[in-house]
Amino acid sequence: METDGTLIERSCRGRPDAFVEVVRRHEIAVHGFLTRRAGSQAAADLLGEVWLRAFAGRGGYDPAHPDARPWLYGIARNVLRAHWRAPRDDQVTAPEDPCDPWEAVVDRLDAAARTGRLVGALRALPSAEREVLLLVAWEQLTPAQAAAVLGVPPGTARSRLHRARAALRLALALEET
């Protein structure tokens, strides 16, 4: 099977339709990424925008990377940031940090989960640490892939993940006592 890198490279060399195969491979995962962070309605609205941006930016993709998923998550993240920054009719006040809509995420969790200790512990994490943690836990990425999504060095992502896990363990242990 051809790698994503090969397909993207081919799509840049006169076969733009090869890019659609890359989209087919990752569409459910990218939709899940958007849904977990913005809800299913917004995900449905934003998914096409992710593909358009990815297609427009495919010339900058390094074909040596066989798996395009972290790159696509990075684009989806930028689309989400633009979505959160854009003023909306249903938004009375702008969120304090438009790139960290954790409260909105919590709102979408069911009531049982919302009262859970884990959500409380997550809420207490700095957003940069929480983001790495959720990329690993929710999107099944390695720390290096999470670093690629966030545009930070792998070492930075690893240390953020380490701090997030330590803080989470501590918070949960404190609640038990």
Partner 1 sequence: MTQDDTDLGRLGRVAPPEHDVLDAAREVLWAVVAQEMLSAGEAAGEAGQAGETGSRRAAQRQKDQRQTDQRQKDKHQTDQRQTDQSQTDQRQKDQHQTDRPGP
Q: Which chain residues interact with partner 1 by CB under 8 A?
A: 14, 16-17, 19-20, 23-24, 27-28, 31-32, 35-36, 40, 43-44, 47-52, 55-56, 109, 113, 116, 118-119, 122, 133-134, 136-138, 140, 165, 168-169, 172
Taking CA atoms, 163 is separated from 32, 158, 168, in Å, by 26, 9, 8
Q: CB-based burial of residue 153 (10 Å sphere; 0-12 exposed, 13-18 middle, 19+ buried)?
A: exposed
The residue (of 3 and 35) whose beta carbon lies closer to partner 1 is 35
The residue (of 94 and 172) whose beta carbon lies closer to partner 1 is 172
- 79 vs 135: CA distance, rounded Å: 16
- String of DSSP letters for 3-69: -HHHHHHHHHTT-TTHHHHHHHHHHHHHHHHHHHHH-HHHHHHHHHHHHHHHHHTGGG--TT-S--H
Give min distance, CB of 94 to partner 1, in A.
25
The residue (of 1 and 24) whose beta carbon lies closer to partner 1 is 24
Give min distance, CB of 137 to partner 1, in A.
4
Give min distance, CB of 160 to partner 1, in A.
14
The residue (of 95 and 120) whose beta carbon lies closer to partner 1 is 120
Nearest to 119 by CA among 130, 98, 100, 129: 130
Give min distance, CB of 54 to partner 1, in A.
8
Give min distance, CB of 1 to partner 1, in A.
20
CB of 18 closer than 8 Å to CB of 11 = yes
The residue (of 38 and 147) whose beta carbon lies closer to partner 1 is 38
